[in-house]
């Protein structure tokens, strides 16, 4: 494996995530690396193999193999500085970036207690699309800020 390849870089990052106890993120990175390596048809993927054209071909490869989208996101609440979990999450997909189809809507009761927590919200299902619109709306009662750590889109 080449020292300065995508494969070695990603493998080091996956190991670091596992050492930090971030097993879910490491698992997602590992699956993404495995999928892209399979697409490239080689054990080690160099950085030179990643360009606009190869990413377009990889996207088509995923569609051709009937890979579907699902999303996972993480939100934090810390009511002291007015950071609240969302009251509503809406997920939509589109093939053209203009016409979106809503695939999920979740509503949540927002309260100031507990003062601090981190919560993951997950949508699991099967859909496809080139674009994803992910909307998180604040509560009309408390307003404030919404912080998200990451939004992960998996292909299955």
Q: What is the pLDDT, as a whole number, of residue 150?
A: 67
**Taking residues 25-32, what's their average pLDDT?**
81
Q: Structure pTM?
A: 0.53
Average model confidence (pLDDT) for the chain? 80
Instruction: Note the helical H segments in the chain.
Output: 6-19, 23-40, 52-64
Pair of tokens at residue 104? 């999920």
How far apart are alpha carbons 42 and 50 in whole angstroms? 13
**Residue 108 contacts by C-beta under 8 Å, 6 or more apart in sequence?**
85, 86, 87, 88, 89
Residue 37 has pLDDT above 60, yes or no: yes
Residue 64 has pLDDT above 80, yes or no: no
Q: What is the pLDDT, as a whole number, of residue 100?
A: 95
Q: What percent of the chain has pLDDT over 70?
A: 83
Instruction: Write out the H or E segment, with its range, that includes residue 117.
Output: strand 116-123
Residue 44 has pLDDT above 80, yes or no: yes
pLDDT band at 19 (very low <50, low <70, confident <90, very high): very high
């Amino acid at each position: 494996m080449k020292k300065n390849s995508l494969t070695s870089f990603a493998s080091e990052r996956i190991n670091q995530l596992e050492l930090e106890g971030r097993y879910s993120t490491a698992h997602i990175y590992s699956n993404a690396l495995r999928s892209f390596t399979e697409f490239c048809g080689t054990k080690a993927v160099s950085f030179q193999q990643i360009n606009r054209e190869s990413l377009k071909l990889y996207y088509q490869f995923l569609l051709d193999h009937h890979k579907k989208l699902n999303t996972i996101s993480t939100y934090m609440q810390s009511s002291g500085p007015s950071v609240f979990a969302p009251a509503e999450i809406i997920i939509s997909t589109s093939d053209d970036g203009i016409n979106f189809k809503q695939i999920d809507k979740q509503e949540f009761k927002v309260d100031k207690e507990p003062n601090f927590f981190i919560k993951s919200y997950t949508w699991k299902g099967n859909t496809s699309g080139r674009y994803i619109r992910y909307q998180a709306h604040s509560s009309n009662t408390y307003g404030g800020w919404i912080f998200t750590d990451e939004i992960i889109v998996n292909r299955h």
